[in-house]
Amino acid sequence: MHCLVHILKNEKRDGMTDATVLISAANAYGLDSRLLIHVGGYINDVYQYTEQNGVPARIIRLTKQTWRNQKEVLAELHFMKYLFDNGVSVPDILPSKNGNLVESVEGGYLASMFTQAPGRIPIEEDWNREMVGNWGRIVGQMHLLTQSYVPLEGVKRRDWKQEPWMDMMRHLPHKELIVRQKAVELLNWLETLPKDKKNYGLVHCDLYDQNFFVAKDGTITAFDFDDCCYHWFAFDVAIILYLVIARFNRLEKMNESLDDHVAFFLDAFLKGYQEVNHFENWWLKAMPHFLRYRRLLGLSLWHQRYDWKIVDGELKIKWLRLKAEIEADKPLTNYPF
């Protein structure tokens, strides 16, 4: 819930996890809680356990059980482990002292531990054809591997229709007649799309540039699979493109147009993708619809997070602009898909 802009995740909770929770989590993994360093997190709290006695740094993630239950987290980690074991650059999942991938700990939390991804969150100088190509390659690898992935018995991630935060018709106000009509049209359109294994499966659903690290050689390591669900592979790409467009608009580059930037990104990304997996031709034609669908999800997320009646300032301006763009069916880009 994502970073889908992290509208909900980016509203950081006050304070960090209680010490009793950290002690409980550290004990489950045989760690010293005093060496845990808080490094981020919104819906989840994320801690680094620095390198000790030649053992590389690790990441401890704490997930509230009100957000994900134990089976949901286990399903996520099982999928990540499958990707890791098949050569995809994702963190490895490290078991607890009891050999579990997920441990229930104090305070209603679920703890899991990962190897730390190498590199850093990409900065401006990292945005080149090599990094974007590697980005496309890792998404292509995941889409190829998910076609043969078999979940654990009775432990499976949700289909997108089962994700409460994705239920736009539940969250968009009834008085927003035009917005709701646009949502109905897009949801009906989704029902016309092919759902065979080459087009539909378990996807990351949030692999934008804050959810991977890039190394000096341009290789990337993907993480934060908390939003993974069953959806169209094309939507997995559209989420990335949507946030690439949003990033470009924030930067307000003067030496490049948005459409040129989209052309650069798609050319490099799809070349990387197609090195490992076939990119169905209809995906590009569908991209404007998927981008509009993603934009509507953003508005729906705002309605979940905020009370429109008391929203003011910059957020209200952005909200009104987003609503107007949706109602006018304004294209996010004029790139000729």
Indicate the domain borders of the chain.
19-115, 124-327
The residues, ordered by sequence, that sit 6+ positions from 132 with a Cβ below 8 Å of its Cβ are 264, 265, 268, 269, 272
Helix (H, G, I), strand (E, B) or coil at 18: coil
And the tokens for 260?
């040129």
What CATH code is assigned to 124-327? 3.90.1200.10
Residue whose C-alpha is closest to residue 17's, from 9, 8, 26: 26
Radius of gyration (C-alpha) of the chain in whole angstroms: 20
C-beta of residue 294 within 8 angstroms of C-beta of residue 301: no
- Pinpoint the alpha helices (H) of 29-120: 70-85
Residue with tokens 């690790």: 58
CATH assignment of 19-115, given 3.30.200.20, 2.40.50.140, 3.40.50.300, 2.40.30.10? Answer: 3.30.200.20
Query: What per-residue confidence (pLDDT) applies to 16?
Result: 54
Phi, psi values for residue 12, rounded to 5°: -70, 140
Give me the helix-helix angle, 177-190 and 313-327, nearest 10°.
60
Query: What per-residue confidence (pLDDT) applies to 42?
Result: 73
Q: In sequence order, what are the beta bridge partners of 200?
A: 232
**This prediction's pTM:** 0.93
CA distance to 117, 217, 222, 228, per residue, from 89 (Å): 9, 14, 6, 16
Largest CA distance in the chain: 61
Digitized pLDDT (tens) for each residue of the chain, 337 residues in all: 444 444 444 444 444 568 999 999 999 999 999 999 999 877 899 999 988 888 889 999 999 999 999 999 999 999 999 999 999 999 999 999 999 999 999 999 999 999 999 999 999 999 999 999 999 999 999 999 999 999 999 999 999 999 999 999 999 999 999 999 999 999 999 999 999 999 999 999 999 999 999 998 889 999 999 999 999 999 999 999 999 999 999 887 778 899 999 999 999 999 999 999 999 999 999 999 999 999 999 999 999 989 888 888 999 999 999 999 999 999 999 999 9
Residue whose C-alpha is closest to residue 246's, from 294, 283, 181, 278: 294
- Pinpoint the alpha helices (H) of 56-158: 70-85, 129-145
Helix (H, G, I), strand (E, B) or coil at 327: helix
C-beta of residue 44 within 8 angstroms of C-beta of residue 62: yes
And the tokens for 137?
């390659």
**What whole-number distance in Å separates Cα of residue 156 and Cα of residue 163?**
13
The residues, ordered by sequence, that sit 6+ positions from 92 with a Cβ below 8 Å of its Cβ are 81, 84, 114, 115
**What whole-number distance in Å separates Cα of residue 230 and Cα of residue 76?**
12
